[in-house]
A and B are shown apart, each in its own frame.
Chain A
Amino acid sequence: MKRNKLLLIGWDAADWNIIWPLISQGKMPALKKLIENGVYGNMSTMSPPYSPMLWTTVATGKTPDKHGVLGFIEVTPDAKSVRPVTTTSRNTRALWNIFHNKGMRSNLVGWWPSFPAEPINGTIVSDRFQKTNRDPNKQTPMSEFAIYPWDQKDEFKDLRMFAFEITKAHLYPFVPRAHDVDQDKHKGLSAIAKIISENASVHNAATKLLRTSDWDFMAVYYDMIDHFCHSFMKYHPPKLPGVDQNNYDIFKEAVTGSYIYQDMMLERKMKLIDEDTTVIIMSDHGFESGNKRILNMPKVQAAPSLEHRQFGIFVASGPNIKKNEKIFGMGLMDVAPTILHHFGLPIGKDMDGKVILDIFKDATAPKYIESWDKEEGDFADLNHIEEADALSDEDTMQQLIELGYVEKLDEKFEVAIKKTRVDLKHNLARVFLGKKDFASAKNHLLELVKERDPVDRAPFYMDLISIALNDKEYELANKYLEKVKKSGTEINYNLLFVESQILTEMGKIQEALKILETARATNESDEILYRIGKLKYQLGDFKESRIILEKAIEIDSQKAIYHATLAEVLLQLNEYEEAAEYAMTSIELIKYFPKAHFILGQALEQLGDLANAKLAYEMASRLKPKVFHKAEKSLENVIEKLEMDLKYENKSFYKYRKNQITIVSGLPRSGTSLMMQMLDHGGMDCLVDGKREADNSNPKGYYEYEPVMSIHKDNSWMDKAQNKTVKIVAPLLNKIDEQYRYKIIFMTRDLNEVLKSQQKMIGKTEDVFPVKLYNKFQKLLSNIEVWKKKEPGVELIYLDYKDVLDNPELTVKSIERFLGVPLNHPEMINCIDKKLYRTKV
């Protein structure tokens, strides 16, 4: 009978950047076969990228704030000590609990964390099974909670391999010159022995279960690649400057060796499963293997995770899985919902992930329930284990310390406990940051900054800076930056980036650019180049921005944001085909990147491919958790064009749009008050408060609304402007709320006249021509065009002040056509008083 079985294999830290070259050399044949018969793609990780959190997200479909596993270690229930994280930290049901409830059999091997083992229908060989004593004279007995059911212990106990059993025959494939290693100076060989033996133990248990047990779902986790990478990636080719030549020569094949061995183990597993079994292989994150490798690890909590790369791997193959197809946009949270869907089970609405329907040949609509946690019945939930000591594991703790994930415990346990609590709280805050729940993150961080020594508070202030920037609280951001500077932290933060970011957000772009250019002189990294390119774009220097962004992509071609930003630049350079290509590359890297879809839509719209532009806008709109106003406006525009079949006309036909806001804009002294007055007399409702009274410069009034002056801080009043007319001067136009539709009448006037009139108004001598100001105004006017191109909700016409005076009838007609509302022509024309055209050039 067909069982619909599914085997999930976790390869911690596996990365396509290492895998693809090995596959092309024929060194990973088992994985190659799976890819050819299935789907593959990037697996996007989460922040912070700590493995126990990530693998629990894989098993639950939930983010760590919900599932409760927040780090490598936890405080014991009696609050007297700390220990490696256990199942007791997880406070939501995992896949195997759900399958248990449904009468399905699951096997779980090595999953992190799965100790103490839960009493499921099936077998759990927990993550403590393979952990053995480093001392060859001590053969660690198996803990009672390491396996469920415990009566199977005799079947498994002899499958544990010990590090001292490793021979040169095992070592040579990884280190062909193992005999040259001075083991007093380099502990590499003993590290390899430990990694191989532990992973062999996991593999032994897995193959035993595959051979001898009946199951529906099986999950096996290997940490081999991750541990090899942390120990030996620095010796992986190409050799980085500063790496010892001898060690490089000896250990340069260690990382690839771990991938090849992992593939050999995969091949065995594939031989032990039925053809109708679905197989998923995935990693929780990738691993930096290029120039970003870290040679000197900073002394911070879980520092090795700094070497993790955003994208891990995902491969799936099986009877209902598509063949040889690349899949996009997968995240760790999606795995559990997808597996539930594979078994025809509903997805909890409280899960953060979604079903990856793209992988299935026959994709049926997912079913949902409120929450698996609220379901009654037997879910093999773990009974509270009183004996905290039984869960303590000094060897595992020691390994975490040696790997650098956990700091050496303080001799005073109260200090260790305090540090653990602080770390876990900070991890939780970072999870909230990752979810853009800034308010929750801020609450935790503000509590954390109250901690006193020996807690390093700099990381909390760094996170608070990003929240302050998001909240547009720039002074606060600067205050936190000062705290970091004065903290004496050992962490080497790139504070120049932070400083330039604050300045950018404050609109001081030239100052921000100067800081980055200084940094670039000493280290031309892709991140610095990207930031410079982005600032150049903001300054309207599109050509230079393009060159710099291309350089950034040359250094790191895997960053979706680089491609998307370059696509934006290319749009401004009217290079739409190239813009579309870069936007597509960005989407290939991260499918769920609404902005990239939006930019693709803009490029396609410009290329006249309205049907596909519509699809791109729809996707952008659908992907954004909150409303993506620009995408929605663009979508409306494209649909209109498709309906009207006006393929190559861009906003040149006008109609009244529901709740539209009419804006009169332009430089001060370009006739904006006159236009407001005309519209007022023409029958338009004007949003004015009369606070600025008429004077000699504007004898008929200014027609202004005071909140406009602080629109850069608060534009929430704009709902009041719907179906009304409001005056907003040109420099403030880009602060309008993009959720509305706008008709902008932009007044132009000879710049010399504008400047002269302005000088006169503020009492300055008219004889001295302000050249600098003239240039700035010219730039501002050309930026209006750039800005307009980016704003799908904006329709804009230019009216020349002199034209309005000379051709009032034509002007009024064109305004009426533009606004799509009937106007009182004679009243409007009556407003024009040529005598007030006093400053002429």
Chain B
Amino acid sequence: MSNKKDKKNIFDPNKVPFLGSLGLLALGDVGFTAWRKVKSDHKQKKSNEKK
């Protein structure tokens, strides 16, 4: 069951820093998952650039 309050925008996914932050970690699974995605995208981008 999803919580109503979860529907609020708690952060801007476009502004997630590559190095992460304590604030993101404090947001729990949502912040952590978003940060990992940014890291993964960044890694992919770097890899593509190398290629």
| Interchain residue pairs with CB less than 8 A apart (6) | A168-B19, A170-B21, A204-B28, A208-B28, A211-B6, A265-B28
Chain B residues near A124: list those with CB within 8 A: none
Of B3, B26, B32, which contacts A210 at CB under 8 A? B3
| A85-93, A240-248, A267-275, A791-799 - the one binding chain B | A267-275
Task: Give the docked Cα–Cα distance between A788 and B8 (Å).
Answer: 71
Instruction: Return chain B residues, CB-CB under 8 Å to A158.
Output: 33, 36
Say how far A580's CB is from chain B's closest CB, in angstroms.
Answer: 46
Q: Are B29 and A159 in contact (CB under 8 A)?
A: yes
Q: Would B32 and A159 count as touching, CB distance under 8 A? A: yes
Q: Given the complex, which residues of B lie within 8 Å of A203, measured CB to CB?
A: 25-26, 28
B32 near A204 (CB under 8 angstroms)?
Answer: yes
Task: Tell me whether A474 is interfacial, beta carbon within 8 Å.
Answer: no
**Which DSSP category, helix, strand, loop or mixed, fits chain A's interface?**
helix
Q: Measured between C-beta atoms, what is the minimum distance from B40 to chain A in Å? A: 11
Nearest to A174 among chain B residues (CB) is B22
Residues 200 to 228 of chain A near chain B (Cβ within 8 Å): 200, 203-208, 210-214
Chain B residue numbers with a CB within 8 Å of A196 are: 25
- In chain B, positions 1-48 with a C-beta closer than 8 Å to chain A are 1-3, 5-6, 8, 10, 17, 19-23, 25-30, 32-33, 36
Complex alpha-carbon distance, A203 and B22, angstroms: 12
Q: Is the CB of A207 within 8 A of B30?
A: yes
Task: For chain A, residues 265 to 310, give those with C-beta under 8 angstroms from any C-beta of chain B.
Answer: 265, 267-269, 271-274
Q: Looking at the complex, which one of B6, B22, B30, B33 makes contact with A264 (CB distance below 8 Å)?
A: B22
What separation, in Å, do the CA atoms of A169 and B26 have in the docked complex?
Answer: 13
Task: Tell whether, in the assembled complex, residue A214 and residue B1 are in contact, meaning their CB atoms are under 8 Å apart.
Answer: yes
A212 and B2 contacting across the interface, CB-CB below 8 Å: yes
Residues of B within 8 A of A268 (CB): 26-28
Given contacts A264-B23, A272-B3, whether A169 and B17 have CB atoms under 8 Å apart is: yes
Q: Does A329 make an interface contact (CB < 8 A)?
A: no
User: Which residues from chain B contact A494 at a C-beta distance below 8 Å?
Assistant: none
Q: Are A272 and B5 in contact (CB under 8 A)?
A: yes
Residue picked from B19, B26, B27, B28, most chain A C-beta under 10 Å: B28
CA distance A344 to B37 in the complex (A): 45
Contact of B22 among A170, A267, A271 (CB under 8 A): A170
A271 to B3, CA, bound (A): 10
Taking A169-B19, A170-B22 as contacts, is the C-beta distance between A200 and B32 under 8 angstroms?
yes
- Chain B nearest CB: distance from A784 CB in Å? 66
A213–B3 CA distance with the chains assembled, in angstroms: 9
Chain A contacts for B36, CB-based, 8 A:
158
* Chain A residues with CB under 8 A of B2: 211-212
How many A-B pairs have beta carbons closer than 8 Å: the answer is: 70
Give which listed residue, B8, B19, B30, contacts A167 with CB less than 8 A. Answer: B19
**Contact (Cβ within 8 A) B25 A207:** no
Smallest distance from the beta carbon of B27 to chain A beta carbons, Å? 5
* Chain B residues near A261 (CB-CB < 8 A): 22, 25-26
Query: Which of B1, B25, B27, B33 is within 8 Å of A170, CB to CB?
Result: B25
6 shortest interchain CB distances as A-B pairs:
A207-B28, A264-B26, A169-B19, A208-B29, A204-B29, A167-B19
Given A196-B25, A207-B28, A211-B2, 8 other A-B residues pairs in contact with their CB atoms under 8 A: A159-B29, A159-B32, A204-B32, A208-B28, A264-B23, A268-B27, A272-B5, A274-B3
Binary contact track A161-183/B, C-beta < 8 Å → 1, others 0 = 10000011110010000000000
Contact between B22 and A211 (Cβ–Cβ < 8 Å)? no
Which one of B10, B21, B29, B30 has the greatest number of beta carbons of chain A within 10 Å?
A: B29
Most A CB contacts (10 A, CB to CB) among B19, B27, B36 go to B27
Residues of A within 8 A of B29 (CB): 159, 204-205, 207-208, 211
Instruction: Looking at the assembled complex, report how far the CB atom of A544 sits from the nearest CB atom of chain B, in whole angstroms.
Output: 53
Residues on B with beta carbons closer than 8 Å to the beta carbon of A167: 19-20
Bound CA–CA A167/B2 (angstroms): 31
B5 touches A267 (CB 8 A): no
How far does the Cβ of B19 sit from chain A's closest Cβ, in whole Å?
4
What is the minimal beta-carbon distance from B39 to any residue of chain A, in angstroms?
8
Q: How far is the CA of A196 from the CA of B33 in the complex (A)?
A: 16
The complex places the Cα of A151 from the Cα of B17 at a distance, in Å, of 33
A208–B26 CA distance with the chains assembled, in angstroms: 12
Task: Determine the chain A residues whose CB is within 8 A of the CB of B6 once the complex forms.
Answer: 211, 272
Residues of A within 8 A of B22 (CB): 169-170, 173, 261, 264
Q: What is the CA–CA distance of A473 and B33 in the complex, to the nearest angstrom?
A: 65
Taking CB as reference atom, which chain A residue is nearest B17?
Answer: A169
Question: B5, A271: Cβ atoms under 8 Å?
Answer: yes
**Residues from chain A with Cβ under 8 Å of B8 in the complex:** 271
A206 to B19, CA, bound (A): 23
The distance in angstroms between the C-alpha atoms of A206 and B23, with both chains bound, is: 16
Q: Tell me, rounded to whole Å, the shortest Cβ–Cβ distance linking B51 to chain A.
A: 25
Nearest chain B CB to A443 CB, angstrom units: 49
Q: How far is the CA of A205 from the CA of B33 in the complex (A)?
A: 12
- Given contact pairs A161-B32, A265-B28, A212 touches B17 in the complex (Cβ within 8 A): no
Residue of A nearest to B32 (CB): A204
The complex places the Cα of A274 from the Cα of B1 at a distance, in Å, of 13
CA A206 to CA B32, docked complex, whole Å: 13
Which of chain B's residues has its CB closest to A200's CB?
A: B25
**B21 nearest in chain A by CB position:** A169
Given A158-B33, A211-B2, A272-B3, A170-B28 contact (CB < 8 Å):
no
**Which residue of chain B has the shortest Cβ distance to A205 in the bound complex?**
B29
CA distance A265 to B6 in the complex (A): 15
